A and B are shown apart, each in its own frame.
Chain A
Amino acid sequence: MYTFDGVNEARRDREREECMVRVLGVGGAGCNAVNRLAMESNERIGTVAINMDGQVLASSLADRKVQIGKQINNGLGAGGDVVKGQKAAMSDILLIEEAIEGADIVFIVVGLGGGTGTGAAPEVIRAARNAGALVLVFATLPFRFEDPKRMVKARQGFNTIQELADAVFMVPNDRWVDMVGTGATVLEAFRTIDDLMAQCVRSLFRIITATGIINLDFGDLRAVLHNAGQCAFGTGLAEGEGRAAAATEMALGGPLLRKGFPLQTAGSLMVHIMGGPDLALTQIEEVMDTIRQKASAQAQISFGACVDEGFQNRILVTLIATDTAPVDIPLSHLDRAKEKNALASDRGIVENVALTPPPGTVSSSRGRLQKMAPHPAKVLNQELLPLEQPSHGIFDPGDPTTYNDQNLDLPTYLRRNIALSRKNGLSEADS
């Protein structure tokens, strides 16, 4: 498990009783999303809005507001300039650290592609990691119809974030539009994304805090999410007859889980079931069997269940899937990858499968043994759209090569608006 340094000792004691979650919205989109949560006012989920634009902050509902870069930009927004966003965060890093103080889980919400969010988020992540918190990021990407340069910035930002944070939940906005339907207005689409983010936070929070039959606590959450990379989650709520199957179906059908596709390559899963006093063992079995069928044999599955009076005749299934090290790792991060791989192979397998073949069944056991070989590190099969390359692009967005006002590190075809045919054969997941 983890070695705690002195700073975290006190925290470890406290976290058995209480766990402080803080949600930080960075940049315009992040601040909007955070408003959603702020409206629920749960005192253990603190909300913070971080932005350069003073006006946006003024109308925020967050518990705490942090304006960054006031000195360098007079309270104006970053205007799409990632470097400005980064500098703004660095110049007010003390304020950010104050806002993070005391949190066990720091949830950072950011819409990538602009200036403040993309530029400042990595700095906020760093500060939170330094403070010893578990850092989870919920990020959205630009729509496909937006300026392609935003997408490039967003991708580069995402790669940086993925390397710094413990776990990242990413929603490419286009995916969600598919789910919401063609009739949905832009406002509705944005609102549903905000809802999704809030749901993600609430789910995690509930998993940790709900005490019940089988507990999952912060330690379990951290075990699954520490240095986890890209993650997916889904929730499903159903009632009445056949609710176990229905809720599971819903959870798997969410935009991030896409009918359970990522589960095939997920290294670890966390399942949480909340039911009423009438929660039956068969229902739990049903949920777990469905999920296990979709998951790979090597996946480590953590499970928690609790009973809540208010859930009579209802069941809520929450599912989080993560994977470990990404495929292409920049050399300077090789050590981090080694750490991740070590964690992956250290975890035992949940089912008690014997490691030595029972006598007389040599052939079948060998088959089993082979399956238990350490799962090769892979990227979670979550999305068809951009950011497939888990490695950071080769170039550092904070250190561009400019010539005649052009950033030569950005692809030439993009800067010169040269059209591509985009005939990409995508995988069988294209459903």
Chain B
Amino acid sequence: MANLREPLVGLEIGTNKVCALVGEFTDDGTISFIGAGLAQSQGMRKGEIVDYQAVTESVRKALAMAEREANVEIGSVFLGITGGGIQGIPSSGTIAIDNQEGTVTGQDISQAIAQARKIAFPKKHAIIHACKQRFFVDGGAAVAEPLNISGRMLRADVLVIHGLHSRIQNAVRAVRDNRVEVEDIVFNGVASSLAILDTESKRMGALVMDIGAGTTDVVAYVAGGIHYAAVIPVGGDHFKNDLALGLQIPPSTAEQLKKSQGRVDVPGEKIKDEIIPLSQESGFFPQTCSKHDLYVIMRARCREIFEIIRDELKERKLLDLIAGGIFITGGVARTAGIFDLAKEVFGKSVELGMPWEFEGNMTITDTPEVSTAAGLVRYGFRRTVDKLGTSRRGPTSFWSGLLPRRDPE
């Protein structure tokens, strides 16, 4: 039985890196990281497994490194899931409240959510989360927490996040093949949000865009609940590829250039003629490239990603409901000029999202790249707290509304 004394592990299999973070619960109720394992990710592309063996090996490396540093043996992990095709569909479930007192119990809430999960979604897909959005007791105004309210009917509105079953299974298998169990699967976007958003932001409405090498994972909160979840299989690697093709240079040079000099600003008049020297050993490739082109190519790609997300939110009438902030996290958040560009596209100010309220003296957790893994650990602890709480009287209200939960099968 899980207990809060044992360390937890969050594992993210990214397109560029595999990250395993080991955290433990401290006495003052915060999470402290005691070990991290990072391995170069091989065999992933656009968030999907294209070389299973290679992925299994990368996972092994990351887990081994984390075990050494944290000085623990990893038996199970909370696994982050991504991939194009992951989407959220709104759904609702209604049940009758038929206990003696006529008030909503924890069991009623669970049942209503279970009802909401019975939704038609694409064949070959499986549910990853059913995220609570809001409840209605006998109609009326929406409530975030219906526990102990009296009434006869309870309706739960949720966002069902689902993804291709086979992809999820492959990721799980890659972990299991390393003789490690998967405690639970979590959508990466949900994990990142847990890592970087505080309660206030979620209540006011917040947008989180985790832009990694292979994918952009998006989650939007409205009034404390998740109302949008999606994956756009476009990420840092697309910037690299665009540069390679546009500047006619090898991908490795493009990657280096992107990181060292890449910006997404509008190239000003002054830099129109500026040339960047490239180091190429053979005379075959260009020795220089235009700074103007570098910016233009990166800006176009970055803008497109933001525009797609903005349009998705507008279509669902969610953009106006986000008052608590727009956050970019993930490796691409380091791109110079990205926040200004995002502000242009979204019309609201945009900030860097970083994992917060975590302890442990590891510099690695002070980076946007590990938001997902950090969030997975937080998710893990909340689930543990939840499980301990449920055995008594129902879900701990402190966590509800914030925690996308998997209902007992």
Contact = CB atoms under 8 A, between A and B. Distances in A.
Contacts of A420: 246, 290, 292-293, 296-297
A403 B308 contact: yes
A331 B51 CA distance: 10
B45 A395 contact: yes
A411 B42 contact: no
A380 B284 CA distance: 8
A184 to B, nearest CB: 26
Interface in A191-220: none
A interface, over-half SS: loop
B88 to A, nearest CB: 17
A401 B231 CA distance: 12
Contacts of A391: 250-251
Contacts of A409: 238, 241
A426 B287 contact: yes
Contact of A424 (B50, B290, B301): B290
Contacts of B293: 420-423
A328 B250 contact: yes
Interface stretch (A313-321, A340-348, A360-368, A381-389): A381-389
B174 to A, nearest CB: 16
Given A381-B284, A424-B290, A412 B242 contact: yes
B42 A421 contact: no
A331 B282 contact: no
Interface string A405-431: 000110111101010111111111100
Given A389-B250, A393-B244, A403-B232, A423 B273 contact: yes
A425 B286 contact: yes
Nearest to A408: B234
A416 B297 CA distance: 11
A265 B282 CA distance: 8
A411 B287 contact: no
Contacts of B296: 413, 418, 420
Nearest to B311: A404
B241 A394 contact: yes
A332 interface: yes
Interface in B19-54: 42-43, 45-46, 50-51, 54
A378 interface: yes
A265 B238 CA distance: 31
Interface residues of B, number: 49
Contact of A388 (B242, B249, B297): B249
A386 B292 contact: no
Nearest to B302: A412
B245 interface: yes
B248 A418 contact: no
A379 interface: yes
Contact of A393 (B84, B241, B284): B241
B143 interface: no
A22 interface: no
A379 B284 contact: yes
A328 B293 CA distance: 23
A152 B284 CA distance: 19
Contacts of B210: none
A423 B247 CA distance: 9
A327 interface: yes
A421 B273 CA distance: 9
Interface string B222-250: 00000000001110011011101111111
A240 to B, nearest CB: 36
Interface in B303-341: 303-304, 308
A65 interface: no
Given A416-B300, A429-B283, A421 B272 contact: yes
A413 B242 contact: yes
B313 to A, nearest CB: 15
Q: Which 8 A-B pairs have the closest CB atoms?
A: A425-B288, A427-B283, A411-B242, A423-B290, A412-B300, A413-B300, A424-B286, A412-B301
15 contacts: A327-B250, A379-B282, A381-B283, A388-B285, A394-B45, A394-B251, A395-B46, A401-B46, A411-B241, A412-B297, A414-B245, A420-B246, A420-B290, A420-B293, A427-B282
Given A331-B51, A389-B249, 18 more contacts: A152-B245, A328-B251, A381-B284, A383-B284, A388-B250, A388-B286, A389-B251, A394-B45, A394-B240, A401-B84, A411-B245, A421-B290, A421-B293, A423-B275, A423-B293, A424-B289, A425-B275, A428-B283
Interface of B: 42-43, 45-46, 50-51, 54, 84, 232-234, 237-238, 240-242, 244-252, 272-273, 275, 277, 280-290, 292-293, 296-297, 300-301, 303-304, 308
